[in-house]
A and B are shown apart, each in its own frame.
Chain A
Amino acid sequence: MNSPGFFDIISFGPDGWGHALTAGAWMTILIALAGFAIGSVIGTFGAWAKISGGPTPRVIAEAYTTILRGIPDLLVIYLFYFGGSAVVTAIGQFFGAEGFVSFPGFVAGALAVGVTSGAQQTEVFRGAFRAVHPGELEAATACGMGRMLKFRRITAPLTLRHALPGLGNVWQVVLKESALVSVTGVVELLRQAQIGAGSTSLPFDFYFIAAMIYLAISTVSGAFLNASERWFSRGVRRG
């Protein structure tokens, strides 16, 4: 059998895997974006709980960040995938469905990535809020701004500016973590490479291409993050 060459694999022709790999890369980006967004919401509430929540929210937030930063991401993915399936199966049986119902891997993966990155984003937001000058918040209160207005116009933009470098790091971690979601069977980039490796018996070529695509995504998004960091700190004096 004539095995395809390296460039046959990445071509977009009938025998090429170009379209499949592009679709996989899109799925990777989607999982990472969904996970990052979920993590941002959790991180915002986590940071709020740690900074100005009462004793109970603070203890919960502390426990959450300690636990999630101490256990492997893969374990969290298994928890959401198998746990979600158990819940869905139980609901299915309640309505009379037979057998095992599996939880959608995309949702399980995005939730797992979101919950783990939420712990990191809690710390990023908390540190960023600490970096905001208290005088600026006082000035907003002195101008008579309400709590929501102050948060929307002053606290959130200033915190975000300081949080941007940290958020960039979290994004890179999330992007790499999304590869673990392949264990749930979602056809993202790594899973697609596994499928290709299996059907052509050219594992090295496929995993190498996948690695290069991951590298490209992280480089491009890294450049974008650097640019936005420059843009949002244009009012900050340096040196």
Chain B
Amino acid sequence: MDIAFASETLMSLLAALPLTLELAVTAIAFGSVLALALALARLSGILVLDWLARSYVFVFRGTPLLVQIFLIYYGLSQFAAVRHSIFWPVLREPYWCAVLALMLNTAAYASEIIRGGLLAVPHGQVEAARACGMPRFMIFRRIVMPLAIRQALPGYGNEMISMVKATSLASIITLMEITGVAARIISETYRVIEVFVVAGAIYLAINFLLTRLIAFVEHRLSPHQRQPMPIRGALKGETH
């Protein structure tokens, strides 16, 4: 393996790192809002909302992400109404099309994860909050949501990692993020192994840090599940 070439590749790939992160963060941020809305629609008990959310999840989980990206980027431009609408400056940009597709896609998967988290909130906790006289919205904000986030976090972490991986598809609609740059270097130099190793290492590093970060947040959010620290004074008394 050629070290000079590998470090040169690393430099050009690292220059593309901000775009990859930007795509992932934007898509996950917008997607989580939509996912929460979808999960609440599923649990609302209103039949129409329930079925709308159900079919949304069914369609977006049952079709490849690449097809969704193509439908938004190439497909929408077919309609004159879209081309003349106020959304056109946004929908013309491959960046926003990629963000939109990633966001809609992750929302479908994440809504099921959040729904699972909401369902896992023990009923007694909600009852206790109600007994304390909390109004509905406050119960949701202070009791249900924190517990649900804690429950959903491991699953949501996996979904975030697949989103980081999914940003690579944006390269197919001309966005030069890490995979896009890697493909360009490969087709220019035909040195597949070096480029693959370097690009793969960057993705592994991102996902490793992301896993650590999620584990840290999970640790912070679950003090009630940890063993209480032994108190020194009490231990001293037990020695004799």
Contacts and interface: CB of A to CB of B under 8 A. Distances in A.
Given A78-B196, A178-B64, A203-B74, 14 more contacts: A70-B207, A72-B167, A74-B168, A74-B179, A75-B196, A75-B200, A78-B192, A83-B193, A180-B64, A182-B66, A207-B67, A214-B63, A215-B58, A215-B59
A194 B64 CA distance: 14
Interface in A166-199: 172, 175-180, 182-183, 190, 193-194, 197
A204 B193 contact: no
Given A70-B204, A214-B67, A78 B165 contact: no
A228 interface: no
Interface in B181-225: 182-183, 186-187, 190, 192-193, 196, 199-200, 203-204, 207-208
Nearest to B171: A74
Interface of B: 58-59, 62-68, 70-71, 74-79, 161, 165-169, 171-172, 179, 182-183, 186-187, 190, 192-193, 196, 199-200, 203-204, 207-208
Nearest to A178: B64
Given A70-B207, A190-B70, A204-B75, A79 B179 contact: no
19 contacts: A70-B207, A70-B208, A71-B200, A71-B204, A72-B165, A73-B165, A73-B168, A75-B179, A83-B196, A178-B64, A182-B66, A190-B67, A194-B70, A204-B71, A205-B78, A210-B67, A211-B59, A211-B63, A215-B63
A233 interface: no
A67 interface: yes
A180 B70 CA distance: 12
A86 interface: yes
Interface of A: 66-67, 70-75, 78-79, 82-83, 86, 172, 175-180, 182-183, 190, 193-194, 197, 201-205, 207-208, 210-211, 214-215, 218-219
A9 to B, nearest CB: 12
B26 to A, nearest CB: 18
A207 B173 CA distance: 15
A72 to B, nearest CB: 4
A219 B192 contact: no
A71 B207 CA distance: 8
Contacts of A204: 71, 74-76, 78-79
A120 B190 CA distance: 29
B165 A215 contact: no
A70 B205 CA distance: 9
Contacts of A193: 67, 70
Q: Which 5 A-B pairs have the closest CB atoms?
A: A72-B168, A204-B75, A179-B64, A203-B74, A176-B64
Contact of A72 (B75, B78, B166, B208): B166
B186 A82 contact: yes
A67 B192 contact: no
Nearest to A79: B196
A190 B64 contact: yes
